[in-house]
Structure 1
Amino acid sequence: MGLRENAAAAAGRTLDDEQHHSPADAEDTAPLPDPMADYEPGDNDPDMVPVHLAWLRVRRDIRAIGKGELYNQSGTRFNFRGVDTVVNVFGPVTLKHGVHVMSSKVEATYGTKNTKSGGTMRECSVLVTWTILGPMGDTFTLQTMGEALDTADKSTTKAQSVALRTLLLGFGLTPTHDTDPDADRIERGVEAPARSAESYRDEILDKKTSQGRLQQIGYELANLRMLNTKVPNETNELETLDALGQRIYKERAAGGGA
């Protein structure tokens, strides 16, 4: 009789019993712990809602991102929304609602392009699979593509940045509130602005407006070129929306506001 058999006999068991009731089997059948079992919401925590509802709330808070940046090179001129601007707007709002945007898979292909000066640029095309994680831990996946050229080693990074911008603007259905260039202006007239300066003032002064929302308002005003618009403040003195927003933000930060 071997050592394992002697130990089993001393414990009143057989080797067959140990094989049918091994610790490994017990671990396989034990229920997994619930990661949210001891969760207690804090004052600044997002609402525990499904991911599709959290994403809807992000879209609702974003409202619009204007084309505030200008490309003007080699005779080509147009306005656009850069990836930094888009991320700066989406970042605080996704944080507010507990939404995480993560690239879970990147498929890249490469090529080369010749420049007019005889140089070579590296071309990268990426297909990115994104995982959108909500505050409750549930997810959904989306895919976008991006393309970029670069003379050095930045084409992959640039292409992924384009894919991220496409994700946030496309699946966020984020409008610009710019006038449609194909619109018949004689019949349709000039489109009214999305919001008035007074409505932004009222929201800034509202004590229920969080510090995160105050930052978001700053991005919106920059995109709408309304930062220097003057409005009567709480003491009926004229103050720019930019100065008003920064002052209220600092006052609430000093007072421990959310």
Structure 2
Amino acid sequence: MGLRENAAAAAGRTLAADEQHEYEQDPEQETYVDLMAGYEPGDGDPEMVPVHLAWLRVRKEIRAIAKGEQYNAAGTRYNFRGVDTVVNTFGPVTLKHGINVFPVEVDATYRDTTTSKGNKMRECTVTVSWMVLGPKGDALPMLLKSQGEALDSADKGTAKAQSVALRVLLLSAGLTPTHDKDPDASHVERGNEAPARSAESYRDEILDKKTSQGRLQQIGYELSNLQMMNRQVQNETGEMETLGSLGRRIHAERSGGGQ
């Protein structure tokens, strides 16, 4: 029994046959209507494929975006892929394959700050939820989110931050490589390095009367860095002694401390 039948029963009457027919719901109205069912692509229109396939075709066509722009100011220098470069690359290709990207929710926060020169700026950080639609009107099964951050001295911080968020979305969802040279692709052969000195060679230099006091101190630093201070060697009397002890003793004797 429907709402109208219930209302009639509560009033102590029943609906007439014509009233029942008048308010009977047409079952065809409950049927989903596909607005694209009769659509036939014209010249230049995208192929009517599901959104995930259309997005895959976009990725296959773009392949990579190099870091062709350079920031060089205040002693800082690096390469990057700017917003305009990314949007100009994705724009025509998404249009070709019928992909639409819409921001459906923007969550922004603001903070006042200053530059190193004392100029007042406003920082804007946004989290944007995006809907990606395909040529058939179907959407990816979840909203995609990306963040952007920007500084501005006037009223453009929010727009800048959203532009950065769009760049992040396109590069991330597109898995867009840079085609920069992989660090592992280069191999450098090391030159012939001087072999590590033996404990005996240090002993001979310490015992050499031509070795200066300054050089003896330097040998002590080298032995400490090489963790060889406790290495045992045969001293000038034929006894076993550590290099550290030998060096300190010889240094003291030559400076008059051992007399």
1:108 aligns to 2:116 (yes or no): no
Structure 2-normalised TM-score? 0.61
Tell me what 2:187 maps to. Answer: 186
Against the structure 1 CA distance between its residues 32 and 74, is the aligned structure 2 distance closer, same or farther, given a 3 Å change threshold? Answer: same
Q: CA deviation at 1:62?
A: 0.1
Deviations 1:88-113 (A, max 9, x none): 11111101111111111111111111
**2:175 aligns with one of 173, 176, 184:** 173
> How far, CA to CA, are the matches of 1:111 and 1:16 in structure 2?
68
Residue 69 (structure 1) aligns with:
69
Q: Displacement, 1:44?
A: 1.4
CA separation in 1, counterparts of 2:18 and 2:144? 48
Between 1 and 2, higher relative CO (CA 8 Å, sep ≥ 6) is seen in 1
Amino acid at match of 1:78: Y
**1:16 shift after superposition:** 5.1
Deviation of the 1:18 alpha carbon:
6.3
Q: Cα 1:24–1:104, aligned 2, differ >3 Å: closer, same or farther? A: farther
Indicate how the Cα distance of structure 1 residues 59 and 19 shifts in structure 2: closer, same or farther if over 3 A, else same. Answer: same
Residues 19-30 of structure 1: matches in 2 within 5 Å? Answer: 20-22=20-22, 25-26=25-26, 29-30=29-30
Give how far 1:70 is off. Answer: 1.0
Tell me by how many angstroms 1:176 deviates: 1.1
Aligned pairs (5 A) from 1:1-258: 20-22=20-22, 25-26=25-26, 29-140=29-140, 141-180=143-182, 182-183=183-184, 185-186=186-187
Distance 1:49 1:37 in 2: 13
CA distance 1:114–1:133, shift in 2 (3 Å)? same
Task: Mark the runs of 5 or more structure 1 residues left unpaired by the alignment.
Answer: 1-13, 189-258
Query: Cα gap change, 1:187/1:58 in structure 2, threshold over 3 Å: closer, same or farther?
Result: farther
Flag the 1:113–1:34 CA change in 2: closer, same or farther, 3 A: same
Amino acid in the other structure paired with 1:144: S
AA partner of residue 130 (structure 2): W
Which residue number in structure 1 is paired with residue 252 of structure 2? none
Q: 1:84 to 1:18 in 2, by over 3 A?
A: farther
> How big is the shift at 1:33?
3.5
The structure with the largest alpha-carbon Rg is 2
The alpha-carbon distance between structure 1 residues 26 and 174, as it changes in their structure 2 partners (threshold 3 A), is same
SS at match of 2:93: helix
* Matched AA of 1:152: A
RMSD over aligned Cα atoms? 2.4
Cα distance in structure 2, aligned partners of 1:34 and 1:184: 52
Change in Cα spacing, 1:21 to 1:105, as seen in structure 2 (3 Å) is: farther
Shift of 1:55: 0.5
Cα separation, 2, equivalents of 1:97 and 1:145: 26
TM-score (norm 1): 0.61
Moved more, 102-111 or 114-123: 114-123
Which residue is 1:226 aligned to?
Answer: none
Runs of 4+ in 1 over 4 A off after TM superposition: 14-28
Amino acid at match of 1:186: H
Query: Over residues 63-87 of structure 1, what are the superposed CA-to-partner deviations in whole Å (9 max), with x where a residue is unaligned?
Result: 1111111111111111111110111
- The whole-number CA distance in structure 1 between the counterparts of 2:85 and 2:24 is 52
Residues 88-142 of structure 1: per-residue CA shift (max 9 Å, x gap): 1111110111111111111111111122222221111111111000011110121
